[in-house]
Amino acid sequence: MLINGYTRRLIQLALDEDIGTGDLTAGAFESFKSQATFNFIAKENCIICGTKVAQEVYFMLDHEVKVEFSVNDGDRITERRIIGQVTGPASSILTGERTSLNFLQRLSGVATNTAKYVEALGDSNIKILDTRKTTPGWRRIEKYAVKTGGGWNHRIGLFDGVMLKDNHVDAAGSITGAVKNVRRFIPTTVKVEVETRNLKEVEEAVQAGADIIMLDNFDIPTIEEAVKIIDKRAKVEVSGGVTLEFLRLLRNVDVDYVSIGALTHQATGVDISLKMRG
């Protein structure tokens, strides 16, 4: 994972939120200047993600603290495995403990959750996409975690892709009108995606020249019918209430993408702890 200005600002916000004017607990140990080593321990099976962020937390907090991981982002980890260590002043390690673990647990949770959906598709060529249903401020690193888990990124935000959803269509009066209006204001290289709610809207989206047609909350038979209507004239994306069982049924249907908000907004943090060695 690339550590850049965005990531550092996020880390600094997290440290400021936790430490405030000072760590009252760990501060009591600072005068001892004792050196210690702590282990990161994965307490459940998972796909690890966020090691670089956890390292950067301590680098920004205290340059005397050294963090080394024996695993890489994307590695599958079995429970009770030591995945890394932190060495340095005990007071600094204790101060950064929760912030480093918060990033590591959350991002590993997103990666692990994503992998479950990817695996449900077996050897299908369908790509699992994330959405904008992310933790405010965490979007870029959560989308990194999705990629770590084997998924693909949809648009980052409103600035790098066009998606005409139901409210856009209703505001414009029709899919045709919405597509026509938006194409006036965007570069010709930007693709236009249209969300559809029924087969009639699918037909209209094709005629309007949509590049990607989203089938929102369609069942499998209706998806198959929509694919016939589209007939390769646009990419096909399935979305809305997608479950692992639904993906298993979708494996052999000729669609291109499945977008799943649950990759991020329903991910549960992985149980990882930091324990003093010895």
Strand order in the sheet with 272-276: 66-69, 81-89, 35-42, 272-276
Q: Which two tokens stand for residue 223?
A: 């998806």
- Residue 179, helix vs strand vs coil: helix
CB neighbours of residue 164 within 10 Å = 23
CB 154 within 8 A of CB 191: no
Spatial neighbors of 182 by CB under 8 A, at least 6 apart, are 162, 164, 192
pLDDT tens, 226-258?
Answer: 999 999 999 999 999 999 999 999 999 999 999
For the annotated catalytic residues, the residue numbers are 98, 133, 165, 195, 216
The residues that bridge with 273 in the sheet, in sequence order, are 41
What tokens appear for 179 in the block? 């597509």
Residues 66-105: tens digit of each pLDDT: 999 999 999 999 999 999 999 999 999 999 999 999 999 9
pLDDT of residue 31: 62
Q: What stretch of H or E contains 88?
A: strand 81-89
Using the CB atoms, write b or e for 133-151: b if 16+ within 10 Å: ebeeebbbbbbbbbbbbbb
* Separation of CA 167 from chain center: 25
pLDDT tens-digit profile of 160-203?
999 999 999 999 999 999 999 999 999 999 999 999 999 999 99
